[in-house]
Amino acid sequence: MSQAPAPSAPDAAATAPPARHPVDEVLPPARLGLLGLQHVLVMYTGCVTVPLVFGAAAKLDTSTIGLLINADLLVAGLVTLLQSLGIGRILGVRLPVVAGATFTAVTPMILIAGEYGMQAVYGSMIAAGVFGLLVCVPFARAVRFFPPLVSGSVITVIGLSLIGVAAGLIAGLDSTAKDYAAPSHLALAGGIVLLIVIVSRFTSGFFSQLGVLLGLVVGTLVAIPMGLTNFSSVGDADWLGLASPFHFGAPHFPVAAVISMCVVMLVTFTESTADMLAVGEMTGRPLSKSDLARGLAGDSVSGIFAGVMNGFVDTVFAQNVGLVGMTKVRSRYVAAVAGGILVALGLVPKLGEIVASLPGPVIGAAGLVMFATVTAVGINTLRKVEFDGTNNLLIVAVSIGIGMLPVVAPAIYHAFPTWVQIIGGSAITSATLAAFLLNLLFNHTGGGGRKPDVAGDESDADTGTTAEPVVNKA
């Protein structure tokens, strides 16, 4: 009896299961844990700096700032899990991205807290999250209206506007105090900045990204004999716990505060869009508009989570994007493990209390480097813009000028209604509105004065930037 012929090589290949994409690969548990922890170490300082800076500027006590830190880590962990694992075809970009609190929201939150109180801060955050869910799909389709010309101008202003906050933490908030800008405080801050520079210069790879975290640790140790530390409240904090939702009371929704936070959400979208597209490119899984919309919906959910749990609006962290490129590890489950670690850290109030007790000069020094880095990122983004033969230089100049007005002259809008003070008084909000509208005027209307096309010119008449693949255009 003759046997059936063996299947040919093409037939065998046809029946083989499709290879799993590296993004969907599940690594061995030990490696997953170590790589996930690595992601947390890279982003931890940037994440907790936001509640530290906001809490100090809003004059909150140490225990409340500790609560904000725990809520910040919890929300960041939940959103990271959401982005990396996804929920059906509704939420999550399903890439190895890690979410964390964005600096974009800090200045508007400080203004809202001073004018309307903490209940309005979190009410406007919830409203901005709902707004984000409503516009994430249109935004993904209209990302060309937020090219590097707009995002670079705004990111530059974000960094510049926060440098003053870092200076206040280093020198003190009361210029009449006896120890205001004490030489010892300035020396401590300068030493921390120097340490961060040395670590970056003489180490490489993963360790070079830990300079700020190391600066915080060493700076705090040096501050102890200087009498600048007070960890008395740490002993009373619980080891495990979860802050109650709406800790500050039922949310309020002042119109001006809501508008300002909605603008923050749009700026957050531009941040995350650039980073998600970059991760999609480096992992070999380019994003569709639907993928991008699901990722932006994840940012929006962070606003709702944060508004309820006393946290902060999250964005995709660029540090972790860089880590993906450096390690070449493309598994989204590594990011999911990082999210799980962040959730666990957010459930340890004692840890939040320790971080909240760090001395002002130490936080300010680390913040100074991080805020200036944000500015440098904005400047680097503007390098992609075509300036010759266009009005783009004028757009950048006017946008930054309008954005910096309330920074250098905080009372400039004092004679206007409260809603104008909140919107115009936010450097981020005013710079975003100016850059967006000016870009529309000059680059999206007829006769905008753009450089005429010449033979072989690939300029993009819609964005005012040199044409390039879609993955690089955010």
The token pair that represents 450 in the structure block: 């753009």
**Least confident stretch, 9-13, 173-177, 292-296:** 9-13
Taking residue 333's Cβ as centre, other Cβ atoms within 10 Å add up to 18
Give the burial class of 458: count Cβ atoms within 10 A of its Cβ; 0-12 exposed, 13-18 middle, 19 or more buried: exposed
pLDDT at 455: 35
pLDDT at 127: 96
What is the full DSSP assignment across 319-367? HHHHHHHHH----HHHHHHHHHHHHHHHT-HHHHHHHHTS-HHHHHHHH
pLDDT at 464 over 60: no
pLDDT at 293 over 70: yes
Give the tens place of pLDDT for each residue, 180-204: 888 888 998 999 899 888 988 888 7
Highest average pLDDT, of 5-14, 37-46, 114-123, 266-275, comes from 114-123
Report the DSSP beta bridge partners of residue 91: 87
Give the tens place of pLDDT for each residue, 234-280: 666 677 777 788 989 999 999 989 998 998 898 888 878 877 877 88
The token pair that represents 179 in the structure block: 């120890």
Give the tens place of pLDDT for each residue, 23-76: 777 878 888 888 788 778 777 777 888 888 898 888 888 888 888 988 999 999
Give the tens place of pLDDT for each residue, 141-164: 887 887 888 888 888 887 888 788
pLDDT at 25: 79
More confident residue, 271 or 302: 302
Domain map (residue ranges) of the chain: 22-464
Ramachandran class of 48: left when φ > 0, alpha when ψ lies in -120 to 50, beta otherwise: alpha
The CA radius of gyration of the chain, in Å to the nearest whole number, is 23
pLDDT at 447: 58
Q: What value does the mean pLDDT of the chain take?
A: 81
Residue range 167-172: average pLDDT? 82
Provide the pLDDT confidence category of residue 169 given band limits of 50, 70 and 90: confident
Dihedrals φ, ψ of 348, to 5°? -115, 90
The token pair that represents 122 in the structure block: 């979190």
pTM: 0.74
pLDDT at 12: 52
pLDDT at 456 over 70: no
> How far is residue 223's CA from residue 225's CA, in Å, rounded to a whole number?
6
pLDDT at 420: 78
